[in-house]
Chain A
Amino acid sequence: MDKKNESYKVKSFEYMMHPKSVAIIGASNNPDKVGHVILQNYLDVGYSGKLYPININASGSIMGLKAYKSVLDVKSNIDLAVVAIPAQLVPKALEECGRAKVKTTIIVSGGFAEVGEVDLQYKLLEIAKRYKFTILGPNCLGVMDPKSRVDTLFLPTYKIDRPRIGGVSFASQSGAVGSSVLDMIAHEGFGLSKFISYGNAIDLDEVDILDYLARDKDTKVIVFYMEGVKRGKDFIEVAKRATREKPVIVIKGGTTEAGATAAHSHTASLAGNYEAYEAVFKQFGIIKAESLDDLLNFSKIFDTQPLAKGNRVAIITNGGGTGVLATDSLYNNNLVLPQLSKDSSTKLRAAMPPIVNIRLPLDMAGDADDKRFNVALDVIGNDPNVDAIMAIVLFQTPGADSRVAASIMHHSATINKPMVVVSPGGNYTQAHVNMMESSGIPVYTSPESAARALDALVKYSKYKLAKGR
């Protein structure tokens, strides 16, 4: 994206994600304090820049680092200040940040508009504007970037697993949803680029975050949890640009809220607040997730798979019934099962034993081994009638073992079409799921969730293709 039009707000995220120096205001030797956990996390993840613990009562050192009473006592540049002190003390600390020419701040502290302290919150914004720095928060978890080893979360590393480095960036208005999703991402087959928890969003809001993530080269997929948008028209403008660059997946909280005003016309009663969001998402290519499951399931397909040319999905399976269920889930999710090309049919007939019917869904029978999977993926991967592949591998069957997983991994890397795997099961299955996922194949426990993910991919592919014209 165009660097020239980058706003100072967008630039300030660079200081947050790649700070050369960080002041932690509220850092403490007392392990019960939020500031203690934040400093501990910076130390745990191996942050390599300068760290300045700030505490008004400081004398000597905090957690082995030289401590300061105020950012004004630090005689070097500070890129980022993380503020974790009681709400009433925040304005004074911010004034000092302004005078110390801190580039950007993350205010972790709560106790502002969310508890009715609107004036106190407004004061923060006024100070930031006066000194021309930016604020993330207040009442947020801040940011995490596993690549640059930045972690302002006040959640101890032993309590919440940190995801590996990857291409999915996740922004959340809610800290609670944010931290639980992060914990889950750590166990999914994809990694994290950036996490941004933005809380009350008095300064940096969803529009700035979307803008930043759309321009960020390390971010391949943008995922959002939001309850509302403050600047609707700006959001649309940024969304238009962002969705042309990369997929944007949104889950919106508060979808069932009742309309605030009584409707006078049919149109007003049918086109309420929620419908307006739906219209915006659809019109500007945003992928809507209906649940947190969707959020994770969609993230992994967009992170790893190429765009789809159409909605024709070939199913190959080593279990008949699961193939039937999978076929149903295709048609329930705007997808279709194609006819194999003549060439494919001939090749498959020659390679498969007589008990295998050569038609889709291709049921290769319970004794299907890696040889059958190899042939099927070779042939179907090149079939012009097929836009995407759903491979169902039931590892409970006699023929399915690590060689089948290896076959899937090999073909996923060589076939230039989206491929998903469905593998429900216990420990033996899970071991193979982990193998496949860590090699970049989205694996699902049910055909339904795989089909939903494929549908989202097909829809976005179509949108992006239309915009590319």
Chain B
Amino acid sequence: MEAYRLMKKYGIKTVQSAYVSSAAQAVKFAAGKPIVLKAISGKALHKTKSGLVELNLTGDSQISAAFTHLKKAAEKYKPYKILAQHMVPQGIEVIMGGREDAQFGKLILFGLGGIYVETFKDVSIRVCPIRKTDAQSMLDDLKSKSIIAKDAKSASMLEELLMKVSRMLIENDIKELDLNPLILHDGTYDAVDLRILK
């Protein structure tokens, strides 16, 4: 949960999450709203591919069944923990990330995210720290700009967010960072999955 605290410190919105150790805890966390359950293990880098994600769960019985199912699927990736998250509405999936480069220092990356990231490789990279004009040109670089930044308002929101991520990368000892997907919806966003390598 340290990663989530770091995001909060820099004002980067992450979806509300908690580790749960029983079906009852998961039901309590849901508080009547739809949730997602994910098994988190260092041995499974791609949760979706490994069948470790249960989406859009509502109601006690559905949550309990999913919890049991997930525990079984995660057995071979021991040790693991189960993360409960509130369901984020559908939207555009983007990736923001960072890497410490041996030559040039911290790099920041932004592009089309989710499961298509490796297929389309539509990403833009800069050296940190970035300024507003750099953030703007990162957006301009993308083929998918018209999908990702539909209007001036969402472009501006993404630029602000990129500068926050750049600041976080610079001020912390982060070797690699993936915010993927970060879901853009209803004029706002939620970082749904994050990975930090220190």
Contacts and interface: CB of A to CB of B under 8 A. Distances in A.
B152 to A, nearest CB: 19
A268 B105 contact: no
Interface in A226-262: 228-229, 232-233, 235-236
B127 A280 contact: yes
A232 B101 contact: yes
B95 interface: yes
Contacts of A236: 104, 127
B143 to A, nearest CB: 13
A266 B180 contact: yes
Contacts of B95: 266-267
Interface stretch (B9-17, B21-29, B55-63, B116-124): B116-124
Contacts of A264: 45, 176, 197
Interface stretch (A159-167, A269-277, A415-423): A269-277
Nearest to A463: B137
B104 A271 contact: no
Contacts of A346: none
Contacts of B197: 264-265
Given A232-B104, A233-B105, A466-B133, A279 B125 contact: yes
B195 interface: yes
B125 A276 contact: yes
A270 B109 contact: yes
A278 interface: yes
A294 B101 CA distance: 28
Interface string B111-152: 100000110010101110000011001000100000000000
Given A271-B109, A279-B126, A265 B178 contact: yes
A49 to B, nearest CB: 39
B162 interface: no
A279 B176 contact: no
B178 A267 contact: yes
Interface in A368-421: none
A271 B99 contact: yes
Nearest to B103: A232
B178 A283 contact: no
A265 B97 contact: yes
B104 A267 contact: no
Nearest to B45: A264
Contact of A279 (B121, B127, B177): B127
A271 B103 contact: no
A270 B95 CA distance: 11
B97 A266 contact: yes
A268 B133 contact: no
Interface in B146-180: 176-178, 180
B198 to A, nearest CB: 11
Tell me which of B45, B117, B127, B134 has the highest count of chain A C-beta atoms within 10 A of its own C-beta. B127
A271 B98 CA distance: 8
Contacts of A280: 104, 127
B105 A232 contact: yes
B107 interface: yes
A271 B105 contact: no
A265 B177 contact: yes
B126 A267 contact: no
A245 B104 CA distance: 22
A268 B101 CA distance: 9
Contacts of B103: 228-229, 232, 273, 276
A283 B134 contact: yes
Tell me which of A267, A273, A466 has the highest count of chain B C-beta atoms within 10 A of its own C-beta. A267
Given A265-B178, A283-B126, A271 B133 contact: no
Contacts of B126: 279, 282-283
Nearest to A267: B97
Contacts of A229: 103
A236 B107 CA distance: 13
B35 to A, nearest CB: 25
A270 B111 CA distance: 10
A282 B180 CA distance: 25
B107 A276 contact: yes
Interface in A278-308: 278-280, 282-283
A283 B123 CA distance: 15
B104 A233 contact: yes
A276 B124 CA distance: 10
A123 B61 CA distance: 75
Contact of A271 (B45, B107, B118, B195): B107
A312 to B, nearest CB: 19
A58 B78 CA distance: 77
Contacts of A279: 104, 107, 125-127
Contacts of B123: 270-271
A278 B124 CA distance: 10
B46 to A, nearest CB: 10
Interface in B61-109: 95, 97-99, 101-105, 107, 109
Interface in A287-335: none
A276 B99 CA distance: 10
Given A232-B105, A266-B95, A279-B107, A271 B125 contact: yes
A233 B45 CA distance: 32
B104 A275 contact: no
Contacts of B118: 266, 269-270
Tell me which of A236, A278, A280 has the highest count of chain B C-beta atoms within 10 A of its own C-beta. A280
Contact of A268 (B104, B117, B134, B176): B176
11 contacts: A233-B104, A265-B97, A267-B97, A267-B109, A267-B176, A270-B118, A273-B101, A279-B125, A282-B126, A282-B137, A283-B126
Given A235-B104, A275-B107, 16 more contacts: A232-B101, A232-B104, A236-B104, A236-B127, A265-B178, A267-B95, A267-B98, A270-B111, A270-B121, A270-B123, A273-B101, A276-B125, A279-B107, A282-B137, A283-B126, A283-B134
Interface of B: 45, 95, 97-99, 101-105, 107, 109, 111, 117-118, 121, 123, 125-127, 133-134, 137, 141, 176-178, 180, 195, 197
Which 5 pairs, one residue from A and one from B, show the smallest C-beta to C-beta distance?
Answer: A267-B97, A232-B103, A279-B125, A232-B104, A265-B178
